[in-house]
Every structure is written in structure tokens, then in C-alpha cells.
Structure 1
Amino acid sequence: MPSYHPAVTSRHVAPRRPRALRHARARSRHPLLRGAAVVATGVLAFAVAGTATVAANLQGNITSADVSDLVVPVDEPSTDATPDPQDASAGQALDILVMGSDERDGENAAIGGSVEGMRSDTTILVHVSADRSRAQLVSIPRDSLVEIPACTATNGQTSRPRTDLFNSAFATGADMGGDAASAAACAISAVQVNTGVTVDHYVVVDFVGFTKMVDALGGVTMCIPEDMSSPMAGLQLSAGVQTLDGTTALAFARARKGVGDGSDTSRLGRQQQLLAATLQGLLSKNFLTDTGQLIGFFDAATESLTTDPGLSSIADLTGLAFSLRGIDPASITFLTIPFGPAPSDPNRVVWTPEADAVWAAIAADQPLPSSEPAAPAAPATTDPAAPADPAASAPAAPEPTPTETKAAGQEAFTGADVTAVCS
């Protein structure tokens, strides 16, 4: 039987020698490169070590000392701009009731004499339009016969409703509560019931507060058309342009007997003139655009003011005043509410139907109705058949428009109008 010999395959061939790795073969083939790499590595290590040694030696040679806190700094202008005052009621129409108080305690007694109680002969409703482009200051005669509603003082006392003089509302509140807040509450109630206007804020200013405001402004310059003398008010002024200090301005505003016709209407007119001159001073001296001056003005004035919480801070007052910085004096109107003699007593007054139109315009935040309707255009008188006269057709030189003098207290006027003429 023939013997079987399996085929010899490659799997059974004697194993070959292991191949040398390629990189090992490369090193073995380039001994010079390997030596160069070793030398480069050594040189680099030596250089790094040497540099570190030199740096350490140099650092040790330097002496450091911080003197930044010891030198005088460069006086550079600040880059932090002072933010403009913010109007907390921006976009809203405001009605503010301003009342002058003749309370005669403390410093007030030194100015006006000592008298018991608290009265108000000056009440002005100030309307500021929502867009801050208009302001109307409406004086309310103290002798107006109006409905006085029941009102409550800060101590809880309540008065009975009645028909009486307008300024009795302020006095009633003061007598019940013994403070300016009670007086203001009753006066505000009387205004709202008789006008339909909602009072947003109030300000009660006494003698001292008024004089400080005028003095903080540097006085008020006014035209005094004739000599004025009122011993009872302590007023003595010569005709001409005068700059009134706080005390003199107060006497000018309070004087009634011995000045003009001695009426309360005449006094209201002088108060309006004084307010107009004060506002002109604020605008001309840039008080409304200079935050520093504005804050200083209110800082002096607010020592003797009583206000509601909405106007109780310098920030509130300066924010509102700053919002009026661009107002045109011609858009600030002063007027006394239209009135006539009371049928029951010629020494008292009642509001006329024209007053209703004023209050309605204020409540709607609209311009006041004009008291002087525009004159109709004159019809043409030229005869077309008549021959043209060359001389008549030549343009005539324009005549200067005479300056109209408004009667303050008797008719409305603006901050741009003339209410007194000094030679």
C-alpha cells in the first residue's frame, strides 16, 4: 500500500526571520541624524536653564515699590454725566392748588405780625398740560360766594356744608384741625365741588417760604408804573423798574388798602404780575435747565412749604420744573376766574357763565377759550370802475404796532404780554 505524504503548504514552511521595524531600520541607517537630535536637545535644555538663571538674577536686582497712593493725580474731567431730573407724572396733565397762608407764628410773626388762626387770601389753580407745552394759572377771588362742602380735618372733625365765601373753606379746615393739611383738604374739596376739576397736588406756602423763594432767585425785577405806599402792608415803592427782594415782594403781593382801588381784584392782578415776573426770572436765568440752581432754589423754598406726598421731595419738584424747561412764556396764561357782583351783596362776587368754559377747558386739558373773538375781515371797498391811482397803489411803509398793555386781574394775559409800562 503506497504510503501517503500530505502536500506541503505555505503554512508549514519553516518560519521566516522577523522583519525589522521600519523606524528601527531608519535609525540604524542614519546615525548622524540621531546624534544631531541629541545635541539639539541638550543645547535647548542648556539655553532654557541659562535663561531662567539670568532672569532670576535680573529679578533679584530690581527693587519695586508702589507709590500710586502717594502721588498727586491728574485732574481729569469726570465722564459721569449728571442724569436729568425725571418727571414722575410725565405724559399726564396736572392740576395743582397753590394757597398762600397768613399763619403768623414763629418767623411768620416777625414778618406779618402776630395774629391767631390761619387764613388764605391767595388761591391759584395751576394747570400743566400733559405735553408740558402749556400752563394756566387761575386766581380764585377770596370773596367768591360758592358751595362749601362738608370736609374732614386731620383730627377727624367734620364741618357742615353751606354757602359761604370761598376762603372760608381754608379757614374752616385750619380752625378744626389746627394745621395746614386740614386747611388744604377743605379748600381742595371746595374747588373740586365748584369746578369739576380734580386737584392732583397742593402746595401751601407761608410768608417765610415766599420770601425765601424770591431771595433764592436773586430778587424779582418788575415795572412799578407809579409810586406805591401801603403802611399796613409795609410797602413803600418808587415808580420805575425795581428789583424786589423777598420781603418787599411779599408786601407787594399782600397790599390792598392804600394801593390802586383797594380791591381784592386789584391785588389779584399784582399777584399775577409778580408770578409772571418770577417765572420770567426762572427762565431767563436758566434755573429750569440748570439742575444745580434748580435744586438750590427748591432747597431754600421748601423749608416753609406744606405739600402732598406727590410733591414732597426735591426730586419731585425739580423733575416737574425741569419738564417745563422748554415752555414758551406766551404759552403761560394768567387770569382771574370770570366773575361779577353778587346780587345778594355787592361786596361779594359770583362766577359768571364764562367761568364754566374755563373750568371745562382745564378739566379736558384744552387751551383756554379766547376772551377776545377775532374781528371779521373788512369787506373790499375798491371801486373797479375807478381809475387806478399810482400813488395809492404804492406800498405804504408799515406802521409800528402799538404794544397793548393788559390789565392784570381784569383780563387774561401771558408771560409774553406787557402789563405795566415804565417811562
Structure 2
Amino acid sequence: MSHVSTPRHSDTDAPARRGGGRGRKRGRTGKRRTGRWILLSLAVLLLAGAGTAYWLYSGIDGNIKGVDIDRAIGDNRPTKLPTSGQNILVLGSDSRAGANAELNTGKVSGARSDTALVMHIPEGRKKAVAVSIPRDTLVTRPECVKANGSTVASAKRVMFNSIYSQVGPACVVKTVEQLSGVRMDHYVEVDFAGFKDLVDAIGGVTVTVDQDIHDSSSGLNLTKGTHKLDGTRSLQFVRTRHGVGDGSDLGRIGLQQQFMLALLTEIKKQDLLGSPVKAYRIADQLTAALTTDSGLASLTKLAEFGRSLNGVDPSTMETIMLPVAYDKADPNRVVAAEPQASTLWKAIRSDSTIPDSAKKSPATGGSSS
């Protein structure tokens, strides 16, 4: 598999390139037809497989952790339109604690929502669209209630990926709903430590890189060529950004996209869903890493939802980055670009075709008008 080119973007965890974020030539636009990152492939794998033999294995049903999103958010939510299809907020959590602490070569502390996207499945469920939200997007966080019952006041210009650690997953859902005006039907979260075990369970994933990668932050060291990665090195691969491109988060996105395709290729080659033994092993690893809203928090509920998605072909999924522009006050952060962002969310709310103009991001070289 050839290496996917890595577009450029601002660093999302720290202002690593002071003053240099806006003057550089930007890479490709946010539209990526084959999918963007590994978390989405894990969600698709689970949902696709849930309709087969997974529900028979009641022993792994207890692996899934549930969050009562409806109760935590309350009634202050967008109206669910009858023709709006299904909308799922998918998060990749990187707590850097517990099992993840052993994988924390970069010594980053605290829980984070490392990746996030809104997965939209239109009425008829034939083709899905995924909208990724850059981690360093400045947003208005609404008033939220923590799991312990305490209230956190609304705040402006909050970095999107800080909300998970500061307030919790329900507040991330509420923030996305207020940002987009789109009602989230479901919430799916995958912990990266479980992702490592999943890769090991299938025997590793093969990738090809067209340049040496040496990243002291993630711990990844690869020479140009083809490599079979185990779970630990796969995590390093999808976390790497300093060793590719200009060291930005979109460099990492390119690697995540490449890895997702490689993982799906490996799954197809092994016919994992056709083997009950392998299916059990994969389901056991994946569900142990899974947190969902209470409406999906069992194998039977996942199976029912998975069967409803049988008509969706992941290879036709369109992935779009939320159109963003560099913040005028801080070039290392981004804000939703208008009118593109509003047009994009309106199309998803109404389950209509997304105009090409709504997929262009000024931060990646797209027009702002």
C-alpha cells in the first residue's frame, strides 16, 4: 500500500509552531472519500459484525460500558427531524492512564478525546458521510452537568478536545449538537488501549511508508519501506505527527487514513467475520474498549443497530473535515469557517446532498467564499 500524502494543519495539543501557522502553503482539502482514521474503521467493524454471531456470545456483553446521554443532557437538544437519517458521534479516547499509561511514550497526562467525528447515515442507509472535527477547534462549550451532578458554566473559545477531560462525554455530545444543530442519535467511544489489543488479536497490520519516520514523542521509528506493525507500534503510528510532514495534526490524519485502509484490508483477507472463533476474539477485544450511549450498551442492541446498517458500504463513505479557518487571535488554533460550516450542517440536518462549496476549508487551502 502506498503512503497517503499528509496535509498540513496547526498542532492541536500545544502551540508548537508559534507565528508560523498561517503563512505556509496548505495541503489537500478536507474531502477524503475512503475514510480518515482508524477509529471509524473500528466502529464500522463492530456495527457490521454485530448482526452476525456476536450477539450469541453473552459472556462479552458485560464488556460494554454505557453512558446515559439523554439524562445527562436533558431536553435542551436539537429537534430530531423525521428525514434526518441517523447521526452518531464517534470519539477516540486517549486517557494516558491505566492500560493507556503503558502506551504513553510521549508522557502526556490527562484524559483526552483524541479523535472525533459525526457519522451521518442518510435515510435508506446506503451511503454514509463522516464529518471530522479538528481537535484544536475553538468552540463555545454550553452549560453542562458532570457525572457527579455538579454544573459547569458555559465558556467561549474552549478548545474542543479539552471538553472530554474537563466535563465528560455527555458535554462533548451537547457541544457538538449546539455547534451543528444536529441531534446525535448515538454515541460511540473507543479507548486506544483496546485498539492495541485488537491489532494484536488479528496478528498485526502491514503498512508501507515512502520516507523514514522518526518521532521521539510517539516513540515510532520506521525506515522507508513495508512493515508489519503490532499493536504497540500501530498506536505509535496513528499517534505520530512530529515525524511526518510539517509536524502538524493533519500529518497524523494522513497516517491514520492509511492505517485504516490497511486494517480493513487485513480484516477482509482473514475473513474474520466468517470465523466464530476469530469473531469472538475480536469482539471480546473491541467491546472491552467500547463505551456507548445507553441505547447501544449491549450486544443485542448493537446487533439490532448493526443489522439496520447492512446496506452501508464503508468503501463509499465520504469523509469531510469541518471547514475551519485559522483563528485571528491565535494562529495555532482554528474556528469554524463560514458560510461553509453552516451550509454543511444544514445539509446533514435535512439529509440532503452536501454542496462542494461546503467542503472547502480555508485552513487547508480551500476558498473562504
What is the SS of the residue equivalent to 2:331? Answer: strand
Alpha carbons of structure 1 residues 146 and 233: separation in structure 2 relative to 1, 3 Å: same
1:265 paired residue among 242, 250, 253: 250
Q: Aligned letter for 1:168?
A: S
Q: Does 1:130 align with 2:123?
A: yes
1:174-193 deviation per Cα after TM superposition (whole angstroms, max 9, x unaligned): xxxxxxxxx11111111001
1:95·1:126 contact (CA, 8 Å) conserved in 2? yes
1:97·1:201 contact (CA, 8 Å) conserved in 2? yes
What is the SS of the residue equivalent to 1:345? Answer: coil
**1:40 alignment partner in structure 2:** none
2:90 paired residue among 77, 83, 98: 98
Name which structure has the greater RCO, CA cutoff 8 Å, separation 6+. Answer: 2
Q: Does 1:170 align with 2:164?
A: yes
What is the SS of the residue equivalent to 2:285? Answer: helix
What is the SS of the residue equivalent to 1:335? Answer: strand
Q: Does 1:119 align with 2:112?
A: yes
Q: Does 1:359 align with 2:345?
A: yes
Percent of pairs identical after alignment?
40
Measure how far apart 1:260 and its partner are: 1.7
Alpha carbons of structure 1 residues 303 and 86: separation in structure 2 relative to 1, 3 Å: closer
Measure how far apart 1:319 and its partner are: 4.3
1:98-137 deviation per Cα after TM superposition (whole angstroms, max 9, x unaligned): 2222212222111115654312231122222333311222
Bigger radius of gyration: 1
Alpha carbons of structure 1 residues 200 and 292: separation in structure 2 relative to 1, 3 Å: farther
- Show the 5 A alignment for 1:282-301: 282-283=267-268, 285-287=270-272, 293-301=278-286
Higher mean C-alpha deviation, range 213-222 or range 162-171: 213-222
Measure how far apart 1:157 and its partner are: 1.1
Aligned equivalents of 1:360, 1:230: Cα separation in 2: 40
2:207·2:228 contact (CA, 8 Å) conserved in 1? yes
Query: When the two structures are aligned, how many residues end up with a matched partner?
Result: 283
1:269·1:410 contact (CA, 8 Å) conserved in 2? no
2:299 paired residue among 304, 308, 314: 314
Measure how far apart 1:209 and its partner are: 1.3
Aligned equivalents of 2:122, 2:218: Cα separation in 1: 35
What is the SS of the residue equivalent to 1:121? Answer: strand
Alpha carbons of structure 1 residues 411 and 126: separation in structure 2 relative to 1, 3 Å: farther
Q: Does 1:151 align with 2:144?
A: yes
Alpha carbons of structure 1 residues 371 and 286: separation in structure 2 relative to 1, 3 Å: farther
1:86·1:319 contact (CA, 8 Å) conserved in 2? no
Alpha carbons of structure 1 residues 215 and 127: separation in structure 2 relative to 1, 3 Å: farther
Q: Does 1:344 align with 2:329?
A: yes
What is the SS of the residue equivalent to 1:236? Answer: strand
- Show the 5 A alignment for 1:387-406: none
Alpha carbons of structure 1 residues 285 and 206: separation in structure 2 relative to 1, 3 Å: same
What is the SS of the residue equivalent to 1:97? Answer: strand
Measure how far apart 1:323 and its partner are: 4.7
Aligned equivalents of 2:317, 2:348: Cα separation in 1: 13
Aligned equivalents of 1:222, 1:369: Cα separation in 2: 34
Aligned equivalents of 1:315, 1:279: Cα separation in 2: 24
Aligned equivalents of 2:185, 2:218: Cα separation in 1: 33
Aligned equivalents of 1:209, 1:335: Cα separation in 2: 26
Alpha carbons of structure 1 residues 361 and 246: separation in structure 2 relative to 1, 3 Å: farther
Aligned equivalents of 2:247, 2:120: Cα separation in 1: 29
1:108 paired residue among 100, 110, 113: 100
Q: Aligned letter for 1:368?
A: I
Identify unmatched segments of 5+ residues in structure 1.
1-82, 174-182, 374-408, 413-423
Alpha carbons of structure 1 residues 86 and 111: separation in structure 2 relative to 1, 3 Å: closer
TM-score for the superposition, normalised by structure 1: 0.59
TM-score for the superposition, normalised by structure 2: 0.67
Aligned equivalents of 1:126, 1:282: Cα separation in 2: 21
**2:194 alignment partner in structure 1:** 209
1:87-107 deviation per Cα after TM superposition (whole angstroms, max 9, x unaligned): 9xxx98322222222212222
Q: Aligned letter for 1:149?
A: P
**2:223 alignment partner in structure 1:** 238
1:300-321 deviation per Cα after TM superposition (whole angstroms, max 9, x unaligned): 1111222212222233334444
Aligned equivalents of 1:276, 1:368: Cα separation in 2: 24
Aligned equivalents of 2:268, 2:92: Cα separation in 1: 23
Q: Does 1:187 align with 2:172?
A: yes
Measure how far apart 1:247 and its partner are: 1.5
**1:369 alignment partner in structure 2:** 355
1:340-375 deviation per Cα after TM superposition (whole angstroms, max 9, x unaligned): 1111211111122222232222223334333699xx
Alpha carbons of structure 1 residues 240 and 328: separation in structure 2 relative to 1, 3 Å: farther
1:136-174 deviation per Cα after TM superposition (whole angstroms, max 9, x unaligned): 22221111111111111111111111111111221211x
Alpha carbons of structure 1 residues 134 and 288: separation in structure 2 relative to 1, 3 Å: farther
Identify unmatched segments of 5+ residues in structure 2.
1-50, 56-82
Aligned equivalents of 1:344, 1:101: Cα separation in 2: 28
